Amino acid sequence: TQLLEQSPQFLSIQEGENLTVYCNSSSVFSSLQWYRQEPGEGPVLLVTVVTGGEVKKLKRLTFQFGDARKDSSLHITAAQPGDTGLYLCAGARAASYDKVIFGPGTSLSVIP
């Protein structure tokens, strides 16, 4: 049973376009994290959202945590080729910050 689902699975867009990636959970987590993973590398944490309804911005990336703390979205404005990679959402429960539960990921390709 997949605790975290992500959509779309694959996304190929032109440079300059906007996109949104979704993460949905069947469980409530203490926090949701977004990672980016490039080929041959480990995941790198982009952001952690903790409070229901929370919105965080990281340059052209906007992250939102759902009110019920079971879903999240990542919006990228004016995508650039450097944004290409696998975007993973992950949930963590209190007192278990090492046992992170990852979704299957969204593979993003930004074409110049």
Partner 1 sequence: DAGVTQSPTHLIKTRGQQVTLRCSPKSGHDTVSWYQQALGQGPQFIFQYYEEEERQRGNFPDRFSGHQFPNYSSELNVNALLLGDSALYLCASRRTSNNEKLFFGSGTQLSVL
**Number of other residues whose CB lies within 10 A of the CB of residue 40:** 5
62: nearest Cα among 9, 111, 104, 20: 20
Q: Residue 104: how many CA atoms within 13 Å on its side-chain side?
A: 10
Residue 22 is encoded by which pair of tokens? 């979704």
Q: Considering only 11-19, 54-62, 63-71, 90-98, which stretch makes contact with partner 1 by CB under 8 A?
A: 90-98
The C-alpha atoms of residue 112 and residue 65 are separated, in whole angstroms, by: 30
Shortest Cβ 78–partner 1 spacing (Å)? 27
Total chain residues near partner 1 (CB under 8 A): 21
14, 82, 99, 112: which one contacts partner 1 (CB under 8 A)? 99
Shortest Cβ 16–partner 1 spacing (Å)? 28
Fill in the per-residue mask, 22 to 41: x = in contact with partner 1 (CB under 8 A), - = not in contact: -----------x------xx
44, 54, 71, 72: which one contacts partner 1 (CB under 8 A)? 44
106: nearest Cα among 9, 5, 2: 9
Contact between 102 and partner 1 per CB under 8 A: yes
